Each structure stands twice: as C-alpha cells, then as structure tokens.
Amino acid sequence: MLLVIQIVVCVILVIFVGTWLSQSADILAEKTGLGRSWVGAILLAGATSLPELAVGISAVVVFNAPDLAAGGIFGSCLFNLFILALLDIFTGPSPLLQRAQISHALAAGLGSILLGVAAAGILLAQSNNNLIFGWVGSPSIVLIVLYLVSARIIARFELRRRTEVLELEVVQYEHIKRQQAFLIFATLSVAIVVLGVWLASLGDRVATVTGLGQSFIGALLLAATTSLPEVVAGWAAIRLNAVDLAVSNVFGSNIFNMAILGVYDLAYFRGNLWSNVSSVHIFTAVVAMMMTSVAIVGLIYRAAHPSRLYITWDGLALILLYISGMYIIYRS
C-alpha cells in the first residue's frame, strides 16, 4: 500500500513539474529568440531525457548491465515516436503534424542518422570490426560529436528563420526576465530528473514485487516510467498551443538518447560496451528509423493535404509499427 501511495504521489509531482517545465521552455523560446523547435529539441528534450541517463549509468556502472541500458535507450526511442501517435489522437480533429512546422523534419532526419550509426556500431562489434580508443568505442565518439553538430545545425537553422518565428509567435511573457527564465528552467530540470529517477526505481520495485522484474513486461514497465516526463511535457505543450515544442521534444529526445549511448560507453570501464549489446537492438533501431520516416512523410504530406480524421494514417502507422516491433522484440 505504501508503494502505491509513493507511485501516486510521484506521478502527480511529475505531471505538475512536467507541465511547468513545458511552460518554462516556452518562455525560454520567446526570451532567447531561438524558437520552440530548437528549445524543444535541445533544452526540453535534454531535461526530459536525463532520467534515462541517470538510470542507464546506474545499470552500466553498478549492475554491469550494458545491454539492459542500451535496450532502455532504444526502447525509449520507439516509445517517444509512439507518443507522437498518442498526441495526434488526443489533440482533436486537427492533425498534430499538420499544425507543426515542416522544419521538424530536420531534427527527425538527424535522429535517423544517429540511430543508423548506433545500429552500425552494434553490427561492427558483433563482427569484431569495432575500432576502440582506450576503452571507448568509435561509434560512441561519433554519436557524441554528431549530437553536438546536430544541436548546432538546428540552432543555425532556427536563427536563419528567426524573423519568421518572431512574427508567428505572440509575445506573452514580457513580465519575466531572461535570467529568471533560465533559473526556473534549470530548477525544474533538476526536479524532473530527481522525480524521473524516483519513478523508475518505483517501477523497478513494482516489477520485482509482481515477479516481472526480469521479464519483457518488466522492461516495458521500466521504459514507460522513465518516459513519463516526455509524455507529460508533450501533453502540456499541446495544451499551451505550443505544438512545435511538443513535436521537437520527441525528435530531440531521440537525438539526445543516442548521445546517451556514447556517455554509457564512457562510463563503462569493464570492456567494450558495443560488444556487450545484443544484436536485437539493431532491429529496434531499424523500426525507430522506419517510424521516424513515417513522421517525416506525415509532416510534409499533410502540410499540403490536411486531414480531418482523429486518427490519421501516419498516427495509425506509428502505432502499428510500435506494437509489431515490440512483439517481434519480445519473441526474440
């Protein structure tokens, strides 16, 4: 009973802090002039993905379970794209991706590149062709560098269209100072990390108590708990009418997740992390790239051909890909 009470309290706090965090990110988008796309893809995505980083490093360093940590990251990428489908259903008759800027295809494409690098890293390690520098595999270095390059590319692109963004977005936070906005966002980011790690530990305890700890369902439960901040942040952004913030958070989270894999490798001193990662994650990465491609097509196609259906074809495709992908992974 005490465990249930803790879960309820933690979920309520995550919803409260996550909602406030989305509004804070929206304020930063206005104050910095970088727009919601960059702030959502880099700042908000980084903040909501930090629980995965903390939980994964614990799995790698303390429990010597690099495959579990990598599986959590790839599973999180799939779940993030599944969030797009959920938001698409609950945003009403106007399709989510129709309301978003086509420019999100840039972040989505960069995420696919990083997913491809990670899949190639696992494949090379399985065939003993992985180049290692000290204890760090070359794919890890490439992923971290590509993340930094991606952040710069998205920032420069958003700055290029800064005038357009400022014209489209109504100034509504004039009463808040820029320094105050950064301080609030940083404080809320720390809070969401603490709550995310706490929620993940509670989910792990539930999996253990119910006997699901070592099962596929237990892994799904842990992945869902660590991804709750992204769900809450996305829903809160939609309610703020900040669709670009919600969509960029999803694609940005996947970019950040791939960089997290590189950080795991840096923290893993017991051998070559990529050689200790199951080849089934290659399939997960491929499914994630397929789902990303569906989202990109949805962004571009529906911009010219809007749909009034509550469940759009791309939202349905994302759901089917997620369910079928998870089923095949379960069977594997």
Backbone dihedral angles phi then psi of residue 137, each to the nearest 5 degrees? -75, 150
Calpha distance 276→306 (Å, rounded): 46
Amino acid occupying residue 197: V
Residues in the chain: 332
- Would strands 136-137 and 132-133 be described as parallel, antiparallel, or unpaired? antiparallel
Give me the tens of pLDDT residue by residue for the chain, a chain 332 residues long. Answer: 677 787 788 878 888 887 888 888 878 877 776 677 778 888 888 888 887 787 788 778 877 878 888 888 888 899 889 988 888 887 766 778 888 888 889 999 999 999 999 999 999 988 887 777 878 889 999 999 999 999 999 888 877 766 665 545 555 656 677 778 788 888 888 888 788 777 767 766 766 666 655 456 555 666 666 777 888 888 888 887 878 888 898 999 999 999 999 999 998 888 888 988 888 899 999 999 999 999 999 888 865 555 555 677 888 899 999 999 888 887 77
Q: Which residues contact 186 (CB under 8 A, 6 or more apart)?
A: none
Q: How many CB atoms lie within 10 A of CB 9?
A: 13
Q: Which residue has the tokens 């998205």?
A: 154
d(CA 315, CA 320): 9
What gap in Å lies between CA 19 and CA 7, rounded to an integer? 18
| Token duo for residue 296 | 């990109």
**Helix, strand, or coil (residue 133):** strand
**pLDDT for the residue numbered 59:** 77
Q: Which long-range contacts (CB under 8 A, 24 or more apart) does 305-308 make?
A: 306/94, 306/95, 306/98, 307/95, 307/98, 308/93, 308/94
Structure tokens at 106: 């840039």
Using the structure block, give the residue that is written with the tokens 């899949």: 119
Whether residue 316 contacts residue 97, with contact meaning beta carbons closer than 8 Å, is answered with no
